[in-house]
Amino acid sequence: MPVVLAVLWVGGWWLFALIALAALFSLHELWLMTRPLRPLAAAGYAGAGLALVGAQLGGMTWLVGGFIATLPLGFLLKNLAETKATTTVSVGTAVLASAWIGLGLGFVVLLRDIPEHAVLLVFTVVLAVWANDTLAYAAGRTLGRHKMAPSVSPGKTWEGFAAGSLASVAVAFFALYDQDFLTIWQSVVLGLLIAVAGPLGDLFESALKRDMQVKDTGRALGGHGGVLDRVDALLFVAPAVYFLLAAFHQV
């Protein structure tokens, strides 16, 4: 946590290096998890990499441009590679990886580069996501009785979701209420958005793991699982926050 916060504070190419490393590990874990589908990993790596470079050098336009390159690259490599997987599955998996991981992490770069209050914002977002995860887990283990999505993630409960939501809103409110950035109601909306987008990101990854019949995406972080297990919520939260700020005319 201190390392992540320090890099977020510094920003620039240090943040890009950390984001690129997280993307590399996450993509590798996704390829291992989806190996039976024979994904076109090279196209996914290239598309996600171009999206991140685009975000760092050219903002939103080139972030999207880099991601779009995944589709023609995937089609080209499919016709060059000797794989029996269908185009729909092999290219589709590469596009999914580039969109989910490349765009998701690319929006973290964009949030850190907003004209004003960037450090305050990214600290608020990351801390709200961590608080949501922590409180939801604790409340779910101690108070959880009503399953939230038993067919996807049996451990998630509505009680945990409620506790995590309160944590997200509290972090956003106390971090932003006395700043010349968002109004009080906007900071509450930001917290509510994180409260919804974070669990959705977690459930999305859980659905993929259930499809592929794996427990964790990897062991890079020991008992915490893989890198993808740690950033799954952020991959949904970062784009959602960016477009909320666009609605508030802050980007």
Q: Are residues 170 and 232 in the same domain?
A: yes
CA–CA separation, 247 and 147 (whole Å): 33
What pLDDT score does 95 carry? 94
Model pTM score? 0.91
Q: Are residues 135 and 76 in the same domain?
A: no
38 φ/ψ sector (left φ>0, alpha ψ -120 to 50, else beta): left
The CA-atom distances, in angstroms, between 129 and each of 12, 39, 109, 235, 236 are 22, 30, 16, 11, 11
CA–CA separation, 57 and 229 (whole Å): 28
What pLDDT score does 78 carry? 85
Asked which of 92, 113, 134 is the last residue of a domain, the reply is: 113
Q: Are residues 78 and 176 in the same domain?
A: no
Residue-range definition of the domain harbouring residue 143:
117-251
**What tokens were used for 18?**
């950390």
Q: Are residues 121 and 242 in the same domain?
A: yes
Output phi, psi for 131, to 5 deg: -65, -40
What pLDDT score does 151 carry? 82
pLDDT tens, N- to C-terminus, the chain (251 residues): 888 999 999 999 999 999 999 999 999 999 999 988 888 899 999 999 999 999 999 999 999 999 999 999 988 888 887 667 788 888 899 999 999 999 999 999 999 999 889 999 999 999 999 999 999 989 888 887 889 888 888 888 999 999 999 999 999 999 988 788 899 999 999 999 999 999 999 999 989 988 888 876 766 555 556 789 889 999 999 999 999 999 999 88
Spatial CA neighbour of 40 closest among 70, 3, 4: 70
Which 3 state secondary structure label does DSSP give 21?
A: helix
- Using an 8 Å Cβ cutoff, are 160 and 140 in contact? yes
What pLDDT score does 222 carry? 57
Q: Are residues 247 and 131 in the same domain?
A: yes
CA–CA separation, 197 and 125 (whole Å): 11
The number of angstroms, rounded, from the C-alpha of 106 to the middle of its chain's C-alpha atoms is 9
Q: Are residues 76 and 123 in the same domain?
A: no
Asked which of 113, 131, 147 is the last residue of a domain, the reply is: 113
What pLDDT score does 224 carry? 58
What pLDDT score does 163 carry? 93
Q: Are residues 188 and 236 in the same domain?
A: yes
Q: Are residues 94 and 158 in the same domain?
A: no
What pLDDT score does 144 carry? 79
Residue 184, class by beta-carbon neighbours within 10 Å (0-12 exposed, 13-18 middle, 19+ buried)?
exposed
Longest dimension (CA), the chain: 59
Q: Are residues 213 and 130 in the same domain?
A: yes
- Using an 8 Å Cβ cutoff, are 105 and 47 in contact? no
Q: Which residue has the tokens 């609605």?
A: 247
Asked which of 89, 113, 137 is the last residue of a domain, the reply is: 113
Q: Are residues 92 and 122 in the same domain?
A: no
- Give how many domains the chain has, as a whole number: 2
Q: Are residues 148 and 69 in the same domain?
A: no
**What tokens were used for 104?**
């998701």
Q: Are residues 136 and 246 in the same domain?
A: yes
